[in-house]
Every structure is written in C-alpha cells, then in structure tokens.
Amino acid sequence: GQNIDQPTEMTATEGAIVQINCTYQTSGFNGLFWYQQHAGEAPTFLSYNVLDGLEEKGRFSSFLSRSKGYSYLLLKELQMKDSASYLCAPRYNTDKLIFGTGTRLQVFP
Amino acid sequence: GAVVSQHPSWVICKSGTSVKIECRSLDFQATTMFWYRQFPKQSLMLMATSNEGSKATYEQGVEKDKFLINHASLTLSTLTVTSAHPEDSSFYICSARRQSAYEQYFGPGTRLTVT
C-alpha cells in the first residue's frame, strides 16, 4: 500500500493554531490533496500540493516535502466550525487518490 | 464552481433488492467519476473508477457483478447495488474529475441502509 500515516485524533482550542501531519510512500508520487469532511457529509477540497513548499490559502496552509514523503496542514485562528476530519490523499501514477484514515479534529471553546 | 449531486441522499431497502444511486456533475463535464464507500469512522475506500463510454475499473475485492456501474454520459454515472445485504449498508460517495485536471469534486453522498 501507500502507507499513509496521520494522527487519528487531535484537539485544540478556539483561536489556536494546529498542525496535522501526514506521511506517505514516495514511490510514484505525483501530488497530495487535503480534504475536510464533516460528520455525515462528503469531503470538500482544501488544497493540492505538487511542488515542495508552503501554500497559504486564508486560515489554512499546506506544506509538502516530496523527498521526505511528508506534508502538513496548518489551521490558524481555529473556529468551532473547523471541528471535522481532515483527510490526506496522495496521488500516484494514476487518476486515483488514496485516502488516509483521516485526523479527527475537535475544537473546544 | 464544480457541483456534483447525488440521488437519493438516503435510501432504506430490504435485503435482496437492488438500489440505484445517481451521480451527476451539474456544471462541468466529467470524463472520469469515482465511487467510494465509507463505513462509520473509517476513511473513504475507492470501489471503482468510471470513464465515460467505457467499462468501469474495479478495485481489488469489489465485486463487479454486485456493484454495477454505468457512465452513460459526461455528466452522469450510476451505481447499482444488486441483491443488497445488510453488510452493504454504508455511505456511498461519488466524485467527478474534469479532463486534464486532478482535483476530484465530491457529491453529498448516499446513505444506504439494508434491512
């Protein structure tokens, strides 16, 4: 498999910053997606990284290191509505996305 | 935008019956659609990849005769769960991809309960 590894659960408080890490197998790697999924709903697109480095998009940023097989999603100024699962999904030499088990983030007041 | 719809949003059926789920891309043409299944507190598991006008490619362990996929047009794919059993109860989600793009846009999902 692609050995996608991300923490199962994380907690944080409103207004804080949280970093969700993801490691994956590098062989055949082409790019990495992050999706947000609220309970009982379909995933929504957050970011897509192909090149090394940090891409910022509002309160959310995503980082990629291709050589290390490592990515993280950074969430700033956390809000209660950010409580959700965050799915790391690398893309390999096909159209398919391989989803990790997701990180369930709980934001407390 | 890129909107994908699914119908129905939820369905309850009796064991042994068949259920059809529709996935439509509303404002773009989807050359490829994907069907996923998600059990509670688990990640999305890809079931099959569907290309318009050709046969679907099923993932290992997914029975093609049980999960019939038809991608009849660039905006519609259907998944039919045949002879459903309680263990088929799950959240079925489709996604669609434009030609020459990698991002997948997800539908809202269909919750299937087989009694």
Q: Give yes or no for a cis peptide into B8 (omega within 30° of 0).
A: yes
Contacts of B60 (CB under 8 A, 6+ apart): none
Average pLDDT across chain B, whole number: 92
pLDDT at B114 over 70: yes
In the prediction, which pLDDT does A2 show?
A: 61
- For residue A92, the chain B residue with the least C-alpha distance is B102
| Location of structure tokens 């069907």 | B35
- For residue B3, the chain A residue with the least C-alpha distance is A44
| Location of structure tokens 């789920």 | B21
Interface test with B, best of A96, A104, A106 (most B CBs within 10 A): A96
Q: pLDDT, tens digit, for every residue of B70-83?
A: 988 899 999 999 99
In the prediction, which pLDDT does B1 show?
A: 66
Residues from chain A contacting residue B102 (CB–CB below 8 Å): 30-31, 48, 91, 95
Contacts of B98 (CB under 8 A, 6+ apart): B2, B28, B29, B30, B31
- For residue B41, the chain A residue with the least C-alpha distance is A101
Q: How far apart are the first and last CA of chain B?
A: 37
Q: pLDDT, tens digit, for every residue of B8-36?
A: 999 999 999 999 999 999 989 988 999 99
Task: For residues A65 and A54, give the distance between their C-alpha atoms in angstroms, rounded to a whole number.
Answer: 9
Chain A nearest C-alpha distance from B101 (Å): 9
In the prediction, which pLDDT does A78 show?
A: 97
- Tell me if A45 and B43 make a contact (CB, 8 A cut-off): no
Task: For residues A34 and B9, give the distance between their C-alpha atoms in angstroms, rounded to a whole number.
Answer: 24
Report the range of poorest mean pLDDT among A4-13, A88-97, B1-10, B19-28.
A88-97
- Tell me if B93 and A43 make a contact (CB, 8 A cut-off): yes
CB A44 within 8 A of CB A28: no
What secondary structure letter does DSSP report for A82?
G
Residues from chain B contacting residue A31 (CB–CB below 8 Å): 102
Q: Which CA distances in Å does A34 have to A21, B5, B115?
A: 11, 21, 35
